[in-house]
Structure 1
Amino acid sequence: MRELLRHAASPGTSSSQEGVPALTVEDVTVRFAGLTALDCVGFTVAPGSVHALIGPNGAGKSSCFNVLSGVYRAASGSVRFGEAELTALPPHRIAALGVARTFQNIVLTRGTVADNLLLGRQTLTRAGFTATALRLPSAVREQRLHRERVREIADFTGLGALFDAPVALLSYGDRKRVELARALCMEPRLLLLDEPVAGMNTAERLGMARTIAHIRDALGVSVLIVEHDMGMVMRMADEVTVLDFGRRIGGGSPEAVQRDPAVVRAYLGGGPSSATIPAPDGPDTEQAP
């Protein structure tokens, strides 16, 4: 039986990558009615690392995320999270293995921040519908523990002061933060973040970057991130994989990828091989603590 409060470390404490497996993607191909969305894509997310998946619009990044989270089925290839093969599993089974994701477009329910974060505890809940409806002591005790845990996570992600606030009244940046916190409430070992700073202003982007770095450093959680903000990618990522038209065209350290001629051509449409992918100027290129 699953331990109720399964997590690598309490928020705010240090953690190693012990118990966090690698994510290994090998030769994954996805087709839709003759259209190839992914063509033999492969990469590895090392335990406890931040790995960025980048590429121009239509490169296949969202299709890749949907395969990893069980929304799409690959036509061929393999996705392994440690010893677990994910390619044939439905989304709820993948989530139960410790894989949580956010979405490019905010998907929240009505109610408060607390209500939304508690939804992230569903895969960890042992009490059945009847016990919960009858408010049996075991169910009440479990609900109290879950609420205490989501309060910790709200504080950890900078949402403590907004814990009982209706999400409809929050700023766009805070709603994006709620979605990240809800994913963290699943006690994941791997976070899939789909454009976590899209639509944010500079201050919000910097704050989100700090939060993601803190999650990795404090909890040892692996992070796979899709992001168009090249300043954030080059600043945060340990490794980068580049897709274009569904194929992997490059990979390696942020510095190596930034100077890869094939990657530069994909982003800029040509130019000298010494060109680099431009990063935004100004405060958004500061080092996140």
Structure 2
Amino acid sequence: MSSTRPDAAAVPPPVLAVREVTVRFAGLTALDAVSFTVAPGSVHAVIGPNGAGKSTCFNVLSGLCRPASGSVRLGDDDLTRLAPHRIAALGVARTFQNIVTTEGTVADNLMLGRHVLTRAGFAASALRLPGAVREQREHLARVREIAELTGLAEHFDAPVTSLSYGDRKRVEFARALCLEPRVLLLDEPVAGMNAAERARTAEVVRDVRDRLGLSVVLVEHDMGLVMRLADEVTVLDFGRRIARGTPDEVRRDPEVLRAYLGTELSGKDVA
């Protein structure tokens, strides 16, 4: 359909490059010259203890926070000082730590994710002009596909308030996918879930990455999930990058072991 990115799976997403990003709040340095690169089609985890700068990093990537210095580029596009809606239009979608859903059905919530892709104006939609009706029908069909992909098909017409916690978190994940992103930012996607919900969500994230060919940047405290899903890991501590590499490399890094909870953790504990 004209309002999606039909070649998203066929064409790899561009490289997401974070270069020397520094963020300060009232004299406090939240990020200190942080750099990392997200390879096309990879799952890249950003981890670290509480207060390490992970949320600030995500806020920079999604345009909610502007750095004092440094840059963020998605391929040839400079995202550093763009507004959130412009970053979203370039193909960067984000979920949040806390569930952000509206009243209504799963379908209603997922359709909200299509707003950046909607071409028909308010008047055309309100008057139900043929072009607007056709576009709405196409969006709804795509939303059904994404609900199927994320395991929400059986709940498509159900009120969001009737769903379990894990399913409501998955609604937010699916709504981000409805933007047809090239890069998906997942902020603690399994926080508060039980073991079965965490396993299901990890499976969905892996399946979405493989089938849609997008890049995933993941912030998550569940180290078991991070080590299973991530292709590469960046570790922050007090706003500085202290390690990067594959999960196996990071889990054995002495700086990482010292940083977590301020104790000498074993590689088994971090795994």
What is the CA-CA distance between 1:7 and the residue it aligns to?
3.5
Residue 72 of structure 2 is aligned to residue 72 of structure 1: no
Partner of residue 55, structure 2: 62
Alpha-carbon separation, structure 2, partners of 1:67 and 1:189: 17
Q: How does 1:1-289 map to 2 (within 5 A)?
A: 3-8=2-7, 15-16=9-10, 18-271=11-264, 275-276=266-267, 278-279=269-270
What is the SS of the residue equivalent to 1:278?
Answer: helix
What is the SS of the residue equivalent to 1:67?
Answer: helix
What is the CA-CA distance between 1:181 and the residue it aligns to?
0.3
Amino acid at match of 1:276: G
Contact 1:39 1:247 in 2 (8 A): yes
Tell me whether 87-96 or 262-271 shows the greater mean CA deviation: 262-271
Amino acid at match of 1:238: D
What is the CA-CA distance between 1:278 and the residue it aligns to?
0.8
Alpha-carbon separation, structure 2, partners of 1:4 and 1:78: 29
Contact 1:7 1:188 in 2 (8 A): no
- What is the identity percentage for the equivalent residue pairs of Structure 1 and Structure 2? 70
What is the CA-CA distance between 1:277 and the residue it aligns to?
5.5
Alpha-carbon separation, structure 1, partners of 2:72 and 2:32: 14
Contact 2:21 2:31 in 1 (8 A): yes
Structure 2 gap ranges (5+): none
What is the CA-CA distance between 1:109 and the residue it aligns to?
0.6
Contact 1:51 1:237 in 2 (8 A): yes
Q: How many residues align?
A: 271
Alpha-carbon separation, structure 1, partners of 2:264 and 2:143: 50
Closer/same/farther in 2, CA of residues 57 and 109 from structure 1, 3 Å limit:
same
Q: TM-score, normalised by structure 2?
A: 0.97
Structure 1 gap ranges (5+): 10-14, 281-289
Taking only aligned residues, the RMSD between alpha carbons, in angstroms, comes to 1.4
